Amino acid sequence: MLILCSASKTRTELLKKAGIKFIQKSCDFDEESIKSKDPYEFVTIASLGKFQKCLKCFENEDIIAADTVVSDGKKILRKAKDENDARRILLAQSGKEIKIITSMWVRYQGRIFGRIDETIYEFEKFDEDDLVNYLKSGEWKGKAGACMVEGFCKKYIKSVKGYESTAMGLCVEELLRILGEENAH
């Protein structure tokens, strides 16, 4: 049984949908301590930090830890602190191309795997009334870049390169390959 080291509801749904048996537990890791401004470096440090904490918490278990960031090509668009911050972050994505980058670490049957994947979206300009309704809904809370490609942002997708699961916080397609490859040994 795999331990998902995350409190994310979205990651939980991704694993359930993929038919992967798991339980959800997490160990605290302070992402605010990370100083990197590079989105690839930041997401790798964050996911590895979570993974290392979970290795100590769950010594002999199969585990997965992941982290996701959104980048507008210049900077990391983190989780919004409040509604005004969410508006600012979402407007930085409106009518633009963004990268959603997910890093995951897996210990499965004694072996360790690390990955970094990205999905690139080009969005149409967001409708102001729709944006206001999304902000009021609070669905953006806890989301990297306040972005929900499976929700609010979906209707604005102009083009996409990569897996939606990566953008949702866990590249299930690659995780299935890892679990499948390991089972083949």
Q: Which residues are catalytic?
A: 67
Ranges of H-type helices in 65-127? 83-91
What is residue 22's three-state secondary structure? Answer: strand
Distance in angstroms (rounded) separating the CA atoms of residues 88 and 75: 13
Gyration radius of the chain over CA positions: 16
Distance in angstroms (rounded) separating the CA atoms of residues 75 and 41: 12
CB atoms within 10 A of CB 25: 15
Nearest to residue 86, comparing CAs of 40, 134, 15? 134
117 has which bridge partners? 102
C-alpha torsion angle, residues 51, 74, 162, 48 (rounded to 10):
-10
